[in-house]
Chain A
C-alpha cells in the first residue's frame, strides 16, 4: 500500500531555478529514500536519510526529514534539463532486506 502523499504532483520550472518536493508518510520508519525515474523505466537511488538524521546533502540535492511531522523534502538546486523526471520518496520500516513503500511521486519538468 502507498505510504503517503507527495506534493506537488507536478512541477514545472525554468532551468537554473531550484525545485522543492515534499513527501509525507504515515507510519514509523527506519529510513527514507528518494528515487528518480525517467520515462517509466528503472528507478535510480538519489539519497537515503536515516530516521535519526534531520538533513543530508549530496551534490545539488538537499533532503530534510522531520519525524515529528512525518514529512520530508527534497531540494534540487540549480536545476538542469536532465533533471526532468519523476521523483519518489520511499520509506522503509525495517533493516537491510525490507521492501520500500513509495509515495505517489512528483513529476518535475525543467524548461530550457
Chain B
C-alpha cells in the first residue's frame, strides 16, 4: 500500500468552529508532514513529525495544533481559524531514518478548507 489518505476531502467551517483533519499511511514511514498550499502558490511546510515526535514547527499559529497518535496517523486540529487560513492542506510521509536518509515524500490528495 503506497497511499496516503486524507479526510475529509472538503471542509467548510466558521471562525468559531473546532474541526480536525486526518491523515493515514500504512507504508511504515516514520516521518509525517503537514503542508499548506494557497491557490496558485507552492506548498509551504507547517509541521514535521519524526518517530511520532514533533521535530519541526515552522512558526505556525497556535490555532493549528498537530497530533501524531501513532506512527500511521497524523491529525491537524483547527480552532478559531481566520478566512485567510482557507487553503489546501496536504499531508505527506517519508521513510525517515535520520541524517543519512533521503526524504522522498508521498503526498495525500489534500483537504480543501474554506473558513467563512
Q: Which residues of B contact A50 (CB under 8 A)?
A: 102
> Which of A44, A102, A105 makes the CB contact (< 8 A) with B44?
A102
Determine whether the beta carbon of B99 is less than 8 Å from that of A96: yes
A43 x B99 contact (CB < 8 A)? no
Check A98–B103 contact: CB distance below 8 A.
Answer: yes
Interface of B is mostly: loop
CB nearest neighbor in A for B90: A42
Contacts of A43 in B (CB 8 A): 43, 90, 92, 105, 107
Tally B residues with Cβ within 8 Å of A: 38
A interface residues, how many (CB within 8 angstroms):
28
Q: Does A101 contact B (CB under 8 A)?
A: yes
- For the complex formed, measure the closest distance between the CB of A36 and the CB atoms of chain B, giving whole angstroms: 10
Residue interface mask B83-103, A partner, CB < 8 A = 1:
000001010101111111111
